[in-house]
Amino acid sequence: MYQVQDQSIRPLTTAHLAQTMTLLALSNLELRDKILGELAANPALELLEDRVCPACHRHLPQPGPCPACSRPQAEDGPIVFLSPREASYSRRETTGESQPAEREPAAPEDLAVHVLQQLATGLDPADRYLAAYILSSLDEDGFLQDAPVIIARTTRSTLAQVERVLAMIAHADPPGLATPGPRQALLAQLDLQDAASSLTQLARRILDQAFSELGRHEYERIAASLDVPLSRIRQAAAFIQDSLNPYPARAYWGSGRQPQASDPNVYHNPDIQISHSNGDEAAALMVEIFAPVAGWLRVNPMFRQAAPESTEPVSEEWARHLERAALFVKCMQQRNNTMRRMLEILVRQQREFILNGDRFLEPMTRARLATEIGVHESTISRAVSHKSVALPDGRIIPLDRFFDRSLSVRDRIKEMVDQEPRPLTDDEIVDRLRREGIQVARRTVAKYRAIEGILPARLRHRKKDQPAALRV
Ligand SMILES: [Zn+2]
């Protein structure tokens, strides 16, 4: 009676649903821990090491995906398959014994994730762990708590490596992160300003030579010690106050940015990889959904055979084990099917976004995707959460980016500002967007502008005009 019937025709039980939901919400690393835990607790569950297709259970003699399950479902559709292998970034490389013990992160984790996303392409794979470590150990203002030499020792990196990664982080958005304090944060932000501007140069001198006087507003003293007219010192001080931020992490919180997946680990262990099949850019996209563990799970057949023959008190326990193992296998199967169907639709729909970037994101809701697959919206929310995708260009992004409706609008605003002949006010941006068929409120434009790190029009104005007027 505990034999596993053809599972597809049995109705879903509450236990089945609940467990499938739980499994869907886990990242690959978390799922791996869950599977190893089940294996340890349940003798009726076993993991076979041979290479078996996770979808159809065919044995796979060759390395690579299952030939039967890795065909496009539709004409010019993507090739989506469950991979029998784990993510290409080895787990040992990032979480082995040689790495420092976990530390309680003081900085908000999604800030870390936000920065890691930007660095993903430029970062040497060997530095990924280091970057994640630094970002997760910042204090709540975004400053370093340890000296670089300590970080180097803790992470077994070279000082040069640490300094290189620190410089990358300090110049990402929000600029000035991972510096030792406000002065260095402001200097890092100045690096991103027009270096030829005399105002920028004066601001740098003030930060270098008269930082404490600046804090006390002792402008006359600064003017005397730097031998610069008082009026210019005032202008430079106003520029520092308006355009720079001594506490980079605080700016981040005020910007209305949406929280992203909370696990920085997912950024060096993508759960899904999208690539061009055979490296051919015109060909169908290949979507590989990595297995959390190598091998495949099944109910131990020996255990199943032996169960009915065992004697009373033991057999009850065995029955429980068998039932639990069967349920777990079934739920894993269900989880995998949902991931596969979801990605088939997502990748077909978002091909342009995947290949050409943020502007081409087709806003799609979780609800619509749920309807297309025939599952509840909450199933999609879970399937999307804590997952990351490696794109063909090497970027690793959270899966929920595919549902970020603001992304293409933000990208358009950024472009408008880049090309503006004179600073456009938020109202003017609203008008221009409306003419392009995009309806957004002014305060939404202001919010998106802040997310993209674009100053309000009146400050952009000053930035463009003033340096010329002040040039000596
Ligand atoms: Zn297969």
Q: What is the CATH number of the domain that holds 434?
A: 1.10.10
Q: How far is the CA of 81 from the centre of ligand 1 (A)?
A: 8
Residue 282 lies in a domain: yes
Question: Do residue 441 and residue 295 come from a single domain?
Answer: no
Taking only the tens place, the pLDDT of each residue in 270-284 is 889 998 877 677 778
Q: Which residues span the domain enclosing 315?
A: 7-83+269-401
Q: How far is the CA of 243 from the centre of ligand 1 (A)?
A: 56
Residue 130 lies in a domain: yes
pLDDT for position 104: 32
Q: Is the pLDDT of residue 435 over 80?
A: yes
Residue 251 lies in a domain: no
Q: How far is the CA of 336 from the centre of ligand 1 (A)?
A: 12
Question: Do residue 126 and residue 261 come from a single domain?
Answer: yes
Of 341, 369, 401, which residue constitutes the final position of a domain? Answer: 401
Q: What are phi and psi of 460, to 5 degrees?
A: -65, -35
Q: How far is the CA of 414 from the centre of ligand 1 (A)?
A: 44
Q: How far is the CA of 44 from the centre of ligand 1 (A)?
A: 24
Q: How far is the CA of 52 from the centre of ligand 1 (A)?
A: 8
Question: Do residue 325 and residue 357 come from a single domain?
Answer: yes
Q: Bigger pLDDT: 341 or 312?
A: 341
Question: Do residue 417 and residue 349 come from a single domain?
Answer: no
**Least confident residue range of 15-24, 65-74, 395-404:** 65-74
Question: Do residue 170 and residue 260 come from a single domain?
Answer: yes
* Nearest CA-CA partner of 88 in 292, 263, 270: 270
Residue 249 lies in a domain: no
Q: How far is the CA of 76 from the centre of ligand 1 (A)?
A: 20
- Rounded CA separation 145/82 (Å): 42
Of 355, 372, 401, which residue constitutes the final position of a domain? Answer: 401
pLDDT band for 462, please (50, 70, 90 cuts): low
- Rounded CA separation 240/296 (Å): 59
Q: How far is the CA of 75 from the centre of ligand 1 (A)?
A: 19
Taking only the tens place, the pLDDT of each residue in 353-375 is 999 888 888 878 888 999 998 88
Q: Bigger pLDDT: 243 or 259?
A: 243
pLDDT band for 90, please (50, 70, 90 cuts): very low
Q: How far is the CA of 274 from the centre of ligand 1 (A)?
A: 18
pLDDT for position 96: 37
The residues, ordered by sequence, that sit 6+ positions from 154 with a Cβ below 8 Å of its Cβ are 100, 133, 146
Q: How far is the CA of 72 from the centre of ligand 1 (A)?
A: 13
Q: How far is the CA of 383 from the centre of ligand 1 (A)?
A: 21
Q: How far is the CA of 345 from the centre of ligand 1 (A)?
A: 19
pLDDT for position 466: 44
The identity of residue 134, as a single letter, is I
Q: How far is the CA of 51 from the centre of ligand 1 (A)?
A: 11
pLDDT band for 256, please (50, 70, 90 cuts): very low
Q: Bigger pLDDT: 455 or 206?
A: 206
| Most confident option among 260-264, 300-304, 335-339 | 335-339
Taking only the tens place, the pLDDT of each residue in 137-155 is 888 778 898 889 988 988 8
Question: Do residue 73 and residue 24 come from a single domain?
Answer: yes
- Rounded CA separation 114/117 (Å): 5
Q: Is the pLDDT of residue 100 over 90?
A: no
Q: How far is the CA of 120 from the centre of ligand 1 (A)?
A: 32
**Least confident residue range of 80-94, 132-146, 257-271:** 257-271
Q: How far is the CA of 63 from the centre of ligand 1 (A)?
A: 13
Task: Give the mean model confidence (pLDDT) for residues 80-94.
Answer: 61
Q: How far is the CA of 230 from the centre of ligand 1 (A)?
A: 75
Q: How far is the CA of 222 from the centre of ligand 1 (A)?
A: 73
Question: Do residue 347 and residue 466 come from a single domain?
Answer: no
CA 324 to chain centre: 34
Q: How far is the CA of 373 from the centre of ligand 1 (A)?
A: 20
Q: How far is the CA of 48 from the centre of ligand 1 (A)?
A: 16
pLDDT for position 71: 77
pLDDT band for 470, please (50, 70, 90 cuts): very low
Question: Do residue 63 and residue 123 come from a single domain?
Answer: no
SS3 string of the chain?
Answer: CCCCCCHHHCCCCHHHHHHHHHHHCCCHHHHHHHHHHHHHHCCCEEEECCCECCCCCCECCCCCCCCCCCCCCCCCCCEEEECCCCCCCCHHHHHCCCCCCCCCCCCCHHHHHHHHHHHCCCCCHHHHHHHHHHHHCCCCCCECCCCHHHHHHHHCCCHHHHHHHHHHHHCCCCCCCCECCHHHHHHHHHHCCCCCCHHHHHHHHHHHHCHHHHHCCCHHHHHHHHCCCHHHHHHHHHHHHHHCCCCHHHHHHHCCCCCCCCCHHHHCCCCEEEEEHHHCCCCCEEEEECCCCCCEEEECHHHHHHHHHCCHHHHHHHHHHHHHHHHHHHHHHHHHHHHHHHHHHHHHHCHHHHHHCHHHCCCCCHHHHHHHHCCCHHHHHHHHCCCEEECCCCCEEEHHHHHCCCHHHHHHHHHHHHHCCCCCCHHHHHHHHHHCCCCCCHHHHHHHHHHCCCCCHHHHHHHHHHHHHHCC
Q: How far is the CA of 288 from the centre of ligand 1 (A)?
A: 13
Q: How far is the CA of 67 from the centre of ligand 1 (A)?
A: 7
Q: Is the pLDDT of residue 8 over 70?
A: no
* Residue 174, token pair as written in the block: 């929000």
- Rounded CA separation 371/291 (Å): 26
Residue 112 lies in a domain: yes
Q: How far is the CA of 171 from the centre of ligand 1 (A)?
A: 46
Cβ atoms within 10 Å, residue 201: 17
Residue 80 β-bridge partners: 287
pLDDT for position 179: 93
Q: Bigger pLDDT: 211 or 89?
A: 211
Residue 161 lies in a domain: yes
Q: Is the pLDDT of residue 5 over 70?
A: no
Question: Do residue 67 and residue 12 come from a single domain?
Answer: yes
Q: How far is the CA of 9 from the centre of ligand 1 (A)?
A: 20
> What is the tally of structural domains in the chain?
4
CA angle 254, 258, 264 (to 5 degrees): 105
Q: How far is the CA of 124 from the centre of ligand 1 (A)?
A: 34
Residue 1 lies in a domain: no
Of 401, 420, 435, which residue constitutes the final position of a domain? Answer: 401
pLDDT for position 2: 40
- Kindly calculate the radius of gyration of the chain based on its CA atoms and give it in whole angstroms: 27
Question: Do residue 139 and residue 260 come from a single domain?
Answer: yes
Question: Do residue 417 and residue 396 come from a single domain?
Answer: no
pLDDT for position 426: 92
- Rounded CA separation 50/60 (Å): 8
**How does the average pLDDT of the chain come out, rounded?**
80
Task: Give the mean model confidence (pLDDT) for residues 207-236.
Answer: 90
Question: Do residue 198 and residue 273 come from a single domain?
Answer: no
Residue 25 lies in a domain: yes
pTM comes to: 0.56
pLDDT band for 205, please (50, 70, 90 cuts): very high
Q: How far is the CA of 357 from the centre of ligand 1 (A)?
A: 32
Q: How far is the CA of 70 from the centre of ligand 1 (A)?
A: 7
Q: How far is the CA of 71 from the centre of ligand 1 (A)?
A: 10
Q: How far is the CA of 83 from the centre of ligand 1 (A)?
A: 9
Q: How far is the CA of 266 from the centre of ligand 1 (A)?
A: 26
